[in-house]
Amino acid sequence: MAEETRNRSIRVLIGTVGGQGGGVLSDWLVRGLLNAGWQPQSIGLLGLSQRAGTVIYYIEANQEGDTPPILSPFAVPGDVDLILAQEFLELGRLLQGGFAAKDCSIIANTYRYLGTLEKMPAEGGIFSSEEIRNAAETLSDNTWLFHAQNMVTEAGLSYLSSNAILMGAVIASPAFGLPAEPFHQAIRDAGSNVEDNLKAFDLGYQMMRDGTLPRAYFKKAEVKDWQQMTDERAAKLPAAKARQYRVLLEKAQQTLPAALNQTLAEALYQLIDFQHADYAQSYLDLIAEFDNDEAVQAAYAQHLALWLTYEDSPRVAQIKTKPSRFTEIAKEHGLKADQKMVVEDYLAPDPQQIYGIFPPALAELVRRIGNRINPNFEKIALEMKIKTSSLHGYYIMRLVAWSRHFRLHSWRHQQELKEISVWQQAIRDWREQAPELAPLAADAGRLIKGYGRVRDLAVADLNLFLIDGLPLLKDISATGGDALASGKNALATIAAEAGKGPAGLTFLQAELESLTQAPAA
């Protein structure tokens, strides 16, 4: 860090994502410093602020003197006194940029909002929290990494007051060590959720001062066995469906491998919740075909369950009107008994999500007329806003959810069954042609994700792998290559993003070419 001088400013770098209140937090800090008699300057470097994109705020501040200070609008790597991260991946970005130093304090929320670049991959896009923690603790001697949302809710405060506990920790940290009142006033002046924000600020402030603020507090997901999962899932279903769920699960476990217990506990719950017990039974009938091949059956059982619970309009409406959703929202925001909650859902369905629930003949008629009127008919986004917490909005959504009773006779369901049949037949064929490649054919079902255009691309990726990718793997095996490893790598490439099928194919072609051109031993 730069050599200390008498008039050196305090430099704070804040990393956040759009929608997390970074602007409010930086405003509290600036106004509080002004109240304390300091001379602060702040600049925000906004990314995709409304789309969970990276946002950075940089603040420099001097104690008031005889002459106005000259402050920089930009942070310099290695010359920052305090790094504050509202989301843990954003801490990783700032560390990667070289801003930390041994005498730099780091205060970070270990909450994972998940940034845009983590959400874009179809799978495997989430960055390791442990790597970020290790980097922070290596680069700085003063780190406080804690789950702000958990700490405020455990204290009986609103989920939304998490920024205030971070602010309290900042003001009491070695970088500042200032009294609380100027910042109390800044929170009062802002006028938002004042009572809880003041309490959360004091919680962070006092814990930093008395040394009880956690140095490393991460919320970890509880790993449950299939029996715990069964009890938990059954409790979410209506009594009649819960009984059917347990009966089906017990019946399936009598004939299927024990290794499938975890998959079955989740799959049968999702399928019954999605449709009904008969639908779940049809799933068990399908996976029973591969009883004599555990590797194929395990992959097929997992991916088939996900495929059969595709997100159509009734499913979306069903999820959005579940009582547990409203309960969770109220809990997250610390809703009090005398407070009213308003929930508005912003939707933009394309035409297929609407006509998809129609009978096939009617759906095809709508498609023909729509495409005749507008060549871009399938790409239209029908934007709408529904206040799901109102009586009118709730019953509109429940009506859409109720249409799931016609789902099995819908155009969309028939399309899904056709694609599943193609995948299933490919697994059968490869079990005969090259049994060692059949597990890859089954595992290719993981490529099916999303809805609308993304799902269309995913289906095309699957078909490309089944039709062109597996024959290439057969050639790789015949040439002495490791077809299983190559296949797994190709699937990982394709699964990263819908539409990556050609990239996976190119990888396999390059693998085969390198084998055929290799000099003989």
DSSP 177-244: ---SHHHHHHHHHHTSSHHHHHHHHHHHHHHHHHT-S-SB----PPP--HHHHHHHHHHHS-HHHHHH
Give the range among 40-44, 94-98, 201-205, 329-333 with minimum mean pLDDT.
329-333
Question: Does pTM surpass 0.85?
Answer: no
Distance CA 269, CA 494 (A): 29
Tens of pLDDT, residue by residue over 165-184, are: 999 999 999 999 999 999 99
pLDDT higher than threshold 70 for residue 116: no
Give the range among 100-114, 220-234, 409-423 with minimum mean pLDDT.
220-234
**Residue in this structure with the two tokens 């106004």, named with its chain if needed:** 31
**Residue in this structure with the two tokens 């088939």, named with its chain if needed:** 304
pLDDT higher than threshold 50 for residue 426: yes
The fraction of the chain above a pLDDT of 70, given in percent, is: 93
Residue 216: its pLDDT value, please?
84
pLDDT higher than threshold 80 for residue 19: no
Tens of pLDDT, residue by residue over 314-324, are: 999 999 999 99
Distance CA 468, CA 471 (A): 6
Residue 70: its pLDDT value, please?
74
What's the CATH superfamily of 10-210?
Pyruvate-ferredoxin oxidoreductase, PFOR, domain III (3.40.920.10)
Give the dihedral of Cα atoms 260, 412, 123, 293; nearest 10 deg.
30
pLDDT classification of 253: cutoffs 50, 70, 90: very high
pLDDT classification of 1: cutoffs 50, 70, 90: very low
Residue 377: its pLDDT value, please?
93
Distance CA 104, CA 45 (A): 21
Give the range among 62-76, 129-143, 294-308 with minimum mean pLDDT.
62-76
pLDDT higher than threshold 70 for residue 521: no
Which strand (E) or helix (H) includes residue 40?
Answer: strand 38-46
78, amino acid identity:
G
Tens of pLDDT, residue by residue over 277-316, are: 999 999 999 999 998 899 999 999 999 999 999 999 999 9
Residue 352: its pLDDT value, please?
92
Residue 220: its pLDDT value, please?
66
Residue 292: its pLDDT value, please?
87
pLDDT higher than threshold 80 for residue 45: no
Cβ–Cβ under 8 Å, residues 495 and 487: no
Distance CA 280, CA 268 (A): 6
The pLDDT mean for the chain works out to 90
Residues 6+ apart with CB under 8 A from 459: 419, 448
Domain boundaries, the chain: 10-210, 222-309
- What mean pLDDT is predicted for residues 263-288? 96
The fraction of the chain above a pLDDT of 90, given in percent, is: 70
Distance CA 48, CA 191 (A): 26
Residue 63: its pLDDT value, please?
85
- Count CB neighbours of 434 within 10 A: 18
Buried b (16+ CB within 10 A) or exposed e, 22-46: bbbbbbbbbbbbbbbebbbbbebee
Compute the chain's Rg from CA coordinates.
28
- What mean pLDDT is predicted for residues 23-49? 85
pLDDT higher than threshold 70 for residue 147: yes
Distance CA 87, CA 164 (A): 14
Tens of pLDDT, residue by residue over 77-90, are: 888 999 999 888 88
Residue 518: its pLDDT value, please?
63
pLDDT classification of 2: cutoffs 50, 70, 90: very low
pLDDT higher than threshold 70 for residue 4: no
